[in-house]
Amino acid sequence: MLRFLLLRVLTTIPVLVLVTFVVFGLVLLIPGDPAVTIAGPDATVEQVAAIRERLGLDRSLLVQYWDWVTSAMSGDLGTSLYTSRAVATSIGDALPVSIALAGAALLVSLVIAVPTAIVSALRRGTWIDRVATLGSSLGIALPSFWLGLVFVLVFSLTLGWLPATGYVPFATDPAAWVTHLILPALTLGIAGAAESTRQLRGSIIGVLQQDYVRTARAKGLRGRMVVGKHVMKNASVPLVTVLGLQITALLGGAVLVEQVFGVPGLGQVAIAAVTTRDIPVIQGIVLVAVLVAVVCNLLVDLVYGYLNPKVRPR
């Protein structure tokens, strides 16, 4: 298993190298010169040139790339062109918030999807199944920012149960941390829940027709054991694929939800950076996002190995 892990980590290195090229190169494609933006509309050509030199923008691209990569590897992602804060610090502040939000959204998604899919698949064709299918269609179709506004209107403004906006770090007040996360997580998790429900329902229906499920029944196992053990372990494989995709999408999708609920996550930092062409921050965020995606893929592969012994290395 350890060898598999090591091998799997090693194979991500070329991916990462490629990604650093793309991340670094993408910025070149963005129209506009950051030195011009920083210097302001009234700056002289000399002033702009001075800024370019200070930022190292006048050096060759390869040198700039190498400089950036080696610093990034030592944890130095540069300094924001505007706030003069270290990029690593900004990301370090925002990342835990985003991870908490994405994690909570994933939890919401699973808590809704797994029971719904199981009941739906076992009662296929009944009204429960039809309601669940309709619900998941709605969940996929409804835009998250609209859903977020409706939740705020109902649960905060009308019922007054939950705070409408803001974020409290866990270390400050765990209870407030939870209450502040509920609405954004619900908003963010519902689309994923709908997608997972569909996927899981389909795969459970497929697995229920397998001969080994009949064997499990023929052994006299209770229904809970047949479904919870024999069906679910096999039916979870497509779900894990979907979840792996969702986790990365959750970080991206969080941008809107973070705006609606005023959550200071990576999305907020990203928006600010993009609107000001704050290149080091953009690069840092994309790099972190890619790292998260790579780690998620690694986790998905490990879970595949647990669920399907055939893909395990031996």
Partner 1 sequence: MTRTLPLDRPAATTTLEVEDLVVEVLTENGWATVVDGVSFSLGRGETLGIVGESGSGKSVTCLAIAGLMPPRQTRVRAGTLRLLGQDLTALDQRQMADIRGPRIAMIFQEPMSSLNPAFTVGDQIAEVLRRHEGLSRKASKARAIELLDRVGVPNPARRFGQYPFEFSGGMRQRVMIAIALACTPDIIIADEPTTALDVTVQAQILELLRAIQREHGMSVIFITHDLGVVADVCDRVLVMYAGQIVEGALLDELFEDPQHPYMEGLLMAMPRMDQVSEALVSIPGHPPQVGAMPAGCRFHPRCSYTREQCTHGDAPALEQVGPTHTTRCLRHPELTLRGTT
User: In the complex, which residues of this chain contact partner 1 (CB under 8 A)?
Assistant: 210-212, 214-223, 225, 229-230, 233-234, 307-310
C-alpha 86/C-alpha 193 separation (Å) is 37
Task: Report yes or no: 119 and 113 within 8 Å, Cβ to Cβ.
Answer: no
Q: Which is nearer to partner 1, 196 or 234 (CB)?
A: 234
263 φ, ψ (degrees, to nearest 5) = -95, 125
The whole-angstrom separation of Cα 71 and Cα 78 is: 8
Q: Answer for the pair 185, 104: CB distance below 8 angstroms, yes or no.
A: yes
Please report how close the Cβ of residue 234 comes to partner 1 at its closest, in angstroms: 5
Among residues 52 and 230, whose Cβ is nearest to partner 1?
Answer: 230
Nearest to 106 by CA among 199, 186, 198, 200: 186
Q: Nearest distance from residue 224's CB to partner 1, in Å?
A: 11
In whole angstroms, give the CA distance from residue 218 to residue 100.
44
Minimum Å gap between C-beta 213 and partner 1 is 8
**Half-sphere exposure (Cβ direction) of 24: Cα atoms closer than 13 Å:** 21
Distance of CA 68 to CAs 55, 64, 65, 78, Å? 12, 6, 5, 8
We find the least distance from the C-beta atom of residue 218 to partner 1, in angstroms, to be 4
Cβ proximity to partner 1: between 252 and 305 the closer is 305
Q: Pick between residue 54 and residue 219 the one whose CB is nearest to partner 1.
A: 219
Residue 119 CB, nearest distance to partner 1 (Å)? 14
Task: Pick between residue 132 and residue 190 the one whose CB is nearest to partner 1.
Answer: 132
